[in-house]
Structures are given as structure tokens and as C-alpha cells.
Amino acid sequence: MKVMTFNEMIQARLGMEDVALRLSVSHQLIRQMLDLDHPADLDLIERVMNLAGKRIVAYPVSS
């Protein structure tokens, strides 16, 4: 999910600083969101994807 988000940021020509300013969060928070060693903040990922013009849709899977 983090790699996909980063790829969408690149395609939308959004830098980490741009995303941080548009979402009114710190640059460090965006960097942590993309760091594979930190836990994912799905709400923040969803907000970044919205900036890139994408939407995340999840479907339940029955077992």
C-alpha cells in the first residue's frame, strides 16, 4: 500500500513537501507514512491518495 501510494504521488507530481502542505501535516509525518519500517496510517494514506486523484476501495472477503 505504501509503495502504491508513493508511485501515485510520483505520477501526480506530488512531492512530500507538497503533500504535507496540502494536508496541513508535518513533512516528517509524510516521510514516516512512506517508511516501510513504520506502521501504516491508513487514514493518512487515503488522504494522500485522494490528493493524487485516486480512491481506495476495500471489499470484505468471506472465508
pLDDT digits (tens, 9 = 90+) for 5-51: 999 999 999 999 999 999 999 999 999 999 999 998 999 999 999 99
At residue 6, the pLDDT reads: 95
Q: What are 45's three cell numbers?
A: 494514506
pLDDT band at 63 (very low <50, low <70, confident <90, very high): confident
Sign of the torsion angle spanned by Cα atoms 17, 35, 23, 60: positive
Query: What is the structure's pLDDT at 59?
Result: 85
Q: What are the boundaries of each domain within the chain?
A: 2-51
Give this prediction's pTM.
Answer: 0.84
Q: At 4, is the pLDDT very low, low, confident or very high (cuts 50, 70, 90)?
A: very high
Tell me the three state secondary structure of residue 44.
Answer: helix
